[in-house]
Amino acid sequence: MRLGLRLFLGFFLIVGLAAFFVMRVFVNEVKPGVRQAMESTLVDSANVLAVMAAEDMKAGRIADGKFVRDLAEARQRDLRATIWQFPKRRVDYRITITDPRGIVVFDSEGKDLGRDNSRWNDVYRTLRGEYGARSSPVTPGDETNTVMHVAAPIRDGDRLIGVLSLAQPNASIDPFIAASQRSIMRQGAWLIGLSALIGILITWWLMRGINRLNRYAQAVSAGERAPPLPARRDEIGDLGRAVETMRRKLEGKAYVEQYVQSLTHEMKSPLAAIRGAAELLQEPLPEAERQRFAHHIQTQEQRLTETIDKLLALAEVEQHGWLQKLEPVEIAEMLAQAAEGVAAKLAAAGLTLSVDAHDPQASVQGDAYLLRQAISNLLDNAIAFSPPGGKISLSGRADGRMIEIRVEDQGSGVPDYAQERVFERFYSLARPSTGLRSSGLGLPFVREVARLHGGEADLSNLATGGGLATLRLPVS
């Protein structure tokens, strides 16, 4: 099971169970709470009615006195009440009055006259001077339909002359209990749903950081260039910064070792040539030979200097897993600047350069300096392999979401055996005019710049002959 699912299920289980048990407690407490409130109301009403019935009870006219008439009138009323959207049209009270022996002398429903109620808890306890109440089923054995009875003493001074029992069916409050329970369940469902949503958001937030860290670690382990993780002020952010620091230290060490080995290998050949020429110059030589060896030393020195300069430039680019500077760069202006930078080399080689920016408004988001250097390297490559009097074309056009910069020359193109290696570091082909090789770092530099800008570089042959170097960059 994935970590994100575990986090979500754990959070939802804790919150969901807590909400469920809280709801169960509320639901289970609704019914007794409402019945307790009803009992309290019945106690008040029973005692008020007992005082009102005392006069007729003392006079022996409880069956047909004013109390009974007033009660009958009240029971005939249409209440027209709406309580919590539930209509109430009639009085639900049933009143029973017993004499001091517990014999029923009045029943508002006329059912139990003459019955001995002295054994019922409400009458029994009240006759003994205690608080009497009971809840009994309407039909014996049917606990789903019960009636609550509350009794109050009828007194003549301090003398107990009867007991008034006030009864109300529990069914009359069942709609309110059911409505309260439904409301609690509905609100509880919202609570559980909200808890699930919060759980999803928290899990997404945590897993977003963890997945970023995971992808970053996998990219680093695969040797890919990856930008640093977004800043976070929590443990995941601390872990990401620690991994980034570790990556920098490990890559820095490996990078230095790799470049020391590469630089040492590339310097051996020109240093050996310089050493050999220097040893020969220590011997007596004709002036022409001396000049030839001196020129050879100068050529090798230039080769070493170019290799070191380009290696440093490539190292700076490769060490950046992401662009340090971002700004809008207009393609037309960048092409013009690159062409101006190689004007002297073109004149010395007897070459012409045409520049065509098909879309003057096209631009990319990136580092203008690195992009100019990349295009300059492509132009240098085209100049080196172009025949005298040849033409070079530099163009840029938007192709969908990419801008394609093309450098075309009329040289011999790229041999088949070199197609897969031209972007390797230190790999170079001999120049047709001199037979010498370059540092082999220009095209790797171009590819690194393209990668930093989210693009790609390619070198191929034209169908009409000559080479085609392409630099593709995303449109800003």
Burial status of residue 358 (CB atoms within 10 A of its CB: 0-12, 13-18, 19 or more): middle
Instruction: Report the percentage of the chain scoring pLDDT > 70.
Output: 75
Q: Quick one: average pLDDT of 79-107? A: 83
Evaluate whether 181 touches 27 at the Cβ level (below 8 Å): yes
Residue 211 structure tokens: 């997945």
Give the model's pLDDT for residue 19.
67
Give the separation between CA 213 and CA 288, rounded to whole angstroms. 66
Evaluate whether 357 touches 396 at the Cβ level (below 8 Å): yes
Give the separation between CA 384 and CA 438, rounded to whole angstroms. 9
Domains in the chain, start-ordered, CATH in brackets? 3-178 (3.30.450.20), 225-321 (1.10.287), 323-476 (3.30.565.10)
Q: Quick one: average pLDDT of 115-126? A: 92
Average pLDDT for the chain: 79
pTM above 0.75, yes or no: no
pLDDT at 254 over 50: no
Q: What is the pLDDT of residues 346-385, one digit of tens each?
A: 888 888 999 888 777 788 888 887 888 888 888 888 888 8
Q: In which residue are the tokens 């897969």 written? A: 420
Q: Quick one: average pLDDT of 223-237? A: 67
Q: Quick one: average pLDDT of 298-327? A: 64
- Could you tell me which residues come within 8 angstroms of residue 367 by beta carbon, excluding any fewer than 6 positions away? 323, 324, 325, 326, 327, 329, 452, 453
CA 130 to chain centre: 66
Report helix, strand or coil for 246: helix
Q: What is the pLDDT of residues 335-348, one digit of tens each?
A: 888 888 888 888 88
Q: Quick one: average pLDDT of 131-158? A: 85
- Dmax over Cα atoms in the chain, in whole Å? 161
Instruction: Report the percentage of the chain scoring pLDDT > 90.
Output: 17
